[in-house]
């Protein structure tokens, strides 16, 4: 049995509204940044960060931003702080993928990070992750394990575990992660915050270490929908240097907007699974009742195509794509890799080129099926996770239970959808449930608008 530690108390000083109110009252943005740096340092032994920006560097960057603001430059993120998952490059900091033998030395930061700093935000540190971003639970990491911000007995969710906890614990104002099969939404669900997965190509992934170039995106963690959407608006846009960037990225609305339809799709009741968690099932029903109370009509659709698309992410030749980034590492440093991470990467060696093409063809067919199924709905609504496990439960059955966490998230990438997760009614052990609003590519503003309506009702 793992020893429990006291949960980190969420600090209101990290929120957007609080920081801006403090600035309006004359607070020093440098002091706000240093306060966050001190909170991060106090949590340095809690498995949330792989590295912290030195306090003197935080002070220097915050002072530079403050000077720009005094000179009349508009800095929408002045006074706000953030952290990033340690598979996103930051110039001058090692990128480790949470693996002790990996130490990349990037010369340039990821474009999303550059844009945030240009808007006045100050980076505090790099967050832990399920090693190589291969997991949805947060325990595929070196010790000390990152723990749930609300109850340390429970998993934090992964693979962007530290990114979710850093926000939920009030250490930083917001954070960035990566999302292949749910890593930008599962940690949000586990820690009671918002996780926003943008449409593929809406945010440049230049400067990321990929798990899958076909499916990866950079998600945002924040305490509420408006904050997450504001960050999306600042980092979204066409990047001519990123071959995966959408040509229409600048035309896609990112701010929460009203839906043109009051119809929401939900999975057929007989196809839903909560893996014995009656509290999670009851919380989902309560969340749907809230949507009905807001005037929405809920209609069941066939979940089978979505479930099949989800299986492709980790049970098909798509797994071989991970070898592009990681084959040399797992070959030369096998003993340094977490066994569960190795078990998630190595099966890629067993697939043929023929199987890869067959998978890509099927992925295209299922994407088309999603377009047809969701064409007349404002969004598809599902639980973000079907249950949440304690750390002990996850470690007792790490492969099966990790897969359980992706039941309602895996399909978003291969079907080319966008999604946002927002906290809902209480579920297991009093932890909040989470509802995901999922839309066709380019409907980012619509799903955020729906999530904002829902979050205000909770």
Q: In this predicted structure, what is the pLDDT of residue 60?
A: 98
Q: In this predicted structure, what is the pLDDT of residue 100?
A: 87
Cβ neighbours for 359, distance < 8 A, ≥ 6 positions apart:
312, 316, 317, 318
Q: CB count, 10 Å around CB of 448? A: 28
Q: In this predicted structure, what is the pLDDT of residue 164?
A: 98
Query: 243-281, pLDDT tens digit by residue?
Result: 999 999 999 999 999 999 999 999 999 999 999 999 999
Q: Which of 175, 183, 204, 245 is catalytic?
A: 183
Given a cut of 50, the residues of the chain with pLDDT beneath it are 1-12
Q: How far apart are CA 99 and CA 444, in angstroms?
A: 33
Q: CB count, 10 Å around CB of 424? A: 25
Q: In this predicted structure, what is the pLDDT of residue 12?
A: 47
The answer to whether residues 158 and 136 touch, using CB atoms and an 8 Å cutoff, is: yes
Active site residue 354: no
- Is beta strand 417-426 parallel, antiparallel or unpaired with respect to 432-440? antiparallel
Q: Name which of 14, 149, 147 is nearest 432 in CA terms.
A: 149
Query: 348-378, pLDDT tens digit by residue?
Result: 999 999 999 999 999 999 999 999 999 999 9
Cβ neighbours for 355, distance < 8 A, ≥ 6 positions apart:
316, 317
The answer to whether residues 213 and 221 touch, using CB atoms and an 8 Å cutoff, is: no
Q: How far apart are CA 379 and CA 418, in angstroms?
A: 10
Cβ neighbours for 104, distance < 8 A, ≥ 6 positions apart:
89, 94, 95, 96, 209
Q: Which of 83, 141, 159, 436 is catalytic?
A: 159
Task: List the structure tokens of 387.
Answer: 């249950």
- Helix axis angle, 16-24 relative to 29-42, nearest 10°? 140
Q: In this predicted structure, what is the pLDDT of residue 456?
A: 85
Asked, as a colleague might, if the bond just before 144 is cis with ω within 30 of 0, I would say: yes
Vertex 171 angle, CA 385 and 152, to 5°: 50
Q: CB count, 10 Å around CB of 382? A: 26
Active site residue 85: yes
Q: Which of 85, 163, 212, 229 is catalytic?
A: 85
Q: Name which of 421, 422, 423, 415 is nearest 441 in CA terms.
A: 415
């Amino acid at each position: 049995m793992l020893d429990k530690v006291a949960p980190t108390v969420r600090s209101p000083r990290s929120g957007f509204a609080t920081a801006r109110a403090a600035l309006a009252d004359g607070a020093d943005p440098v002091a706000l940044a240093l306060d966050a740096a001190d909170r991060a340092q106090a949590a340095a032994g809690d498995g949330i960060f792989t590295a912290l920006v030195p306090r003197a560097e935080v002070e220097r960057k915050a002072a530079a931003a403050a000077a720009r603001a005094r000179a009349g430059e508009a800095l929408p993120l002045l006074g706000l702080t953030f952290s990033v998952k340690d598979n996103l490059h930051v110039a001058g900091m090692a990128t480790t993928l949470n693996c002790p033998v990996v130490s990349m030395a990037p010369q340039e930061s990821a474009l999303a990070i550059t844009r945030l700093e240009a808007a006045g935000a100050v980076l505090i540190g790099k967050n832990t992750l399920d090693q190589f971003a291969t997991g949805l639970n947060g325990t595929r990491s070196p010790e000390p394990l990152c723990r749930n911000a609300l109850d340390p007995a429970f998993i934090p969710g992964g693979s962007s575990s530290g990114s979710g906890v850093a926000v939920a614990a009030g250490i930083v104002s917001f954070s960035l992660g990566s999302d292949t099969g749910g890593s930008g939404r599962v940690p949000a669900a586990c820690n009671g915050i918002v996780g926003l997965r943008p449409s593929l190509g809406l945010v440049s992934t230049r400067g990321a270490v990929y798990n899958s170039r076909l499916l990866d995106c950079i998600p945002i963690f924040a305490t509420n929908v408006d904050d997450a959407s504001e960050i999306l608006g600042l980092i979204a846009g066409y990047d001519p240097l990123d071959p995966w960037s959408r040509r229409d990225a600048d035309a896609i609305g990112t701010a929460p907007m009203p839906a043109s339809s009051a119809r929401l799709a939900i999975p057929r009741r007989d196809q839903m699974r909560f893996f014995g968690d009656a509290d999670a099932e009851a919380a989902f029903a309560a969340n749907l009742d809230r949507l009905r109370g807001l005037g929405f009509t809920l209609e069941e659709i066939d979940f089978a195509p979505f479930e099949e698309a989800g299986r492709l992410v980790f049970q098909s030749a798509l797994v071989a794509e991970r070898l592009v980034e990681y084959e040399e590492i797992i070959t030369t440093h096998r003993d340094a890799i977490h066994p569960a991470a190795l078990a998630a990467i190595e099966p890629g060696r067993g697939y043929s080129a023929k199987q890869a093409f067959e998978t890509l063809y099927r992925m295209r067919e299922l994407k088309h099926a999603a377009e047809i199924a969701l064409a007349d709905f404002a969004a598809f609504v599902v639980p973000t996770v079907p249950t949440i496990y304690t750390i002990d439960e996850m470690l007792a059955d790490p492969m099966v239970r990790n897969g359980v966490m992706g039941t309602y998230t895996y399909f978003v990438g291969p079907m080319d959808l966008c999604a946002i997760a927002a906290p809902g009614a209480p579920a297991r052990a009093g932890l909040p449930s989470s509802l995901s609003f999922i839309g066709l590519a380019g409907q980012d503003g619509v799903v955020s608008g729906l999530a904002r309506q829902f979050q205000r009702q909770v």
